[in-house]
Every structure is written in C-alpha cells, then in structure tokens.
Amino acid sequence: MGNLHEGHLSLVRMAREHAERVVVSIFVNPTQFAEGEDLESYPRTLERDTRRLKRLNVDLIFVPDVDTIYPFGTDNATSVTVPVLTDELCGSFRPGHFDGVTTVVSRLFGLVQPDVAIFGQKDYQQQLIIRRMVEDLSLPIQIFVGPTIREEDGLAKSSRNQYLSEGDRAIAPALFAAIAGTGDKLRNGNRDFAELEKQAMNELAKSGFEPEYVSIRRAEDMGEPDQGSRELVILASAWLDEARLIDNLVIEL
C-alpha cells in the first residue's frame, strides 16, 4: 500500500531473484479498512516510493486508481473470500479485512498476470490466506515469502510504526521480545500452549500494550498445535495508543 520501508524493498530484491521483470503495485485498498480505521490518514508517499523503486530498477510501478480496481464500485464489487482462515486472530478483530485483501490481490493478479508474487512474513496470516486462495482457485502463480525485516531493537518494520510516539517507540520492541521469549520456552520443552499464551499477554500488558492476542499455532496451516507439532508459529497483535502492531515468530522444535 505504499509508504515503502526496507521490509518492502527487500521483497522487491527477492522478486528480482525469481523473475526477469518486476512489477510493484501501490494501491491503498479501501475494502480492507473497516469503518473508523485509518483509510484517510494512511500515509501516502508516492513520490518518495517511486524514487526508491527506481533505484532498484523495477520494470513497472503500477499505481491504479479505485475505478481501475473496482470498475463497478466498491459496494457492487465481486468479492473473494477464503473461509475459516479469515475468521480468527486478526480476522476476528478486523471483520471483513481479509475479504478486502483477497479481493484486491485477486484483482491485481488478474490485471498484472504475474508468474510469481512476493509477500512478507510479518503479515503471516495474510500470506497464508493468499497461498490458500491461489491453490484453491488454481491460479498459475508461485507465492514466495520474504523474512521479516526488523529494526536493531527487534521491532518489525511497518508503515504504521510512524504512528508511535517517542515514548511508545521505546516500548514497542517488547512485542517481539514477548514472542521470542515464548519461543525460548517452547524450545526448552514447555508445551502448555495456553499458559504460555497467557504469560505473554500478561507481559505485554505490563509493558504498556493493550494486547489483542498471543497465539501459538501450527506453522503450516495455523491450526491448533498438539504435543507432536514440530513447526510452530507464535503470532501476536497489540495496541500502543493509536498504533496496532502485529508480529510473529516461526520456530522448529
């Protein structure tokens, strides 16, 4: 959606490894914002984004308007829904959000006709939903996922980090610290998933967050883990004043 940072640019570099030509789309998608969210205030920095992308020698910067993406209007648009995966975690706190994501991504795929598409691991649930959509609709597109890019103190880079006040920015790294600590406990043999989630939620609250969730899931499909699960993902979402932060960590046991 623009306001590019190093996390986005790392995906552009990754795309170059998999394709002869690279297209970057920039579109602030209205259908993935719920009422009261930051659609109007979402940072739009197209001039700066264009300069950064030109330095990476992208072949095309695709900046469609709303009428191009939704020719019949957003209220009358055909929508694409991935069931089950979109109803939990971020989906439960942002109803309809992922329907907006899958709808716009399917339209961008149709307009651009890519062979491969690159998404970031920071939006773990999102990339899993897009993978499911591509497989379910038999789209001839390979999905690759790039690693989360972090600040030196561990905070995942995000366009919404600029909403953080100076004081909140000092607190923000505690989100990744909490899930990293949970990962250490899992590696050390603790399999009480519910208790570990509760402990991490309490840590976040004590740090000054308003946590929405900390959840330990199977990495492959975000299903509930059991004692035999060997690849897990720890996902978390929490608010710091006006900024909603998400993060995750994949671990192998």
Model confidence at 9: pLDDT above 90? yes
pLDDT tens-digit map of 169-204: 999 999 999 999 999 999 999 999 999 999 999 999
Distance (Å, whole) CA 142 – CA 120:
14
The long-range contacts involving 231-236, CB below 8 angstroms and separated by at least 24 positions, are 232/186, 233/124, 234/179, 234/182, 234/183, 234/186, 234/200, 235/89, 235/124, 235/125, 235/179, 236/175, 236/178, 236/179, 236/200, 236/204, 236/211
Q: Is 8 a catalytic residue?
A: yes
Mean pLDDT of 27-56: 94
Model confidence at 36: pLDDT above 90? no
Which pLDDT value is given to residue 35?
Answer: 85
CA-nearest of 65, 99, 73, 66 to 85 is 99
pLDDT tens-digit map of 111-165: 999 999 999 999 999 999 999 999 999 999 999 999 999 999 999 999 999 999 9
Mean pLDDT of 42-49: 94
pLDDT tens-digit map of 198-221: 999 999 999 999 999 999 999 999
Model confidence at 93: pLDDT above 90? yes
Domain with CATH 3.40.50.620 in the chain: 6-146
CATH of 159-252, one of 3.40.50.720, 3.30.1300.10, 3.40.50.300, 3.40.50.10800: 3.30.1300.10
Residue 34's pLDDT band, with cuts at 50, 70 and 90, is confident
Helix (H) or strand (E) holding 248: strand 243-252
- Whether residue 52 contacts residue 12, with contact meaning beta carbons closer than 8 Å, is answered with no
Which pLDDT value is given to residue 18?
Answer: 97
Mean pLDDT of 24-38: 93
Helical spans, DSSP H, in the chain:
6-18, 46-55, 66-69, 90-93, 97-112, 124-136, 166-171, 174-187, 193-207
Mean pLDDT of 72-77: 96
CATH of 6-146, one of 3.40.50.620, 3.30.110.40, 3.55.10.10, 3.30.460.80: 3.40.50.620
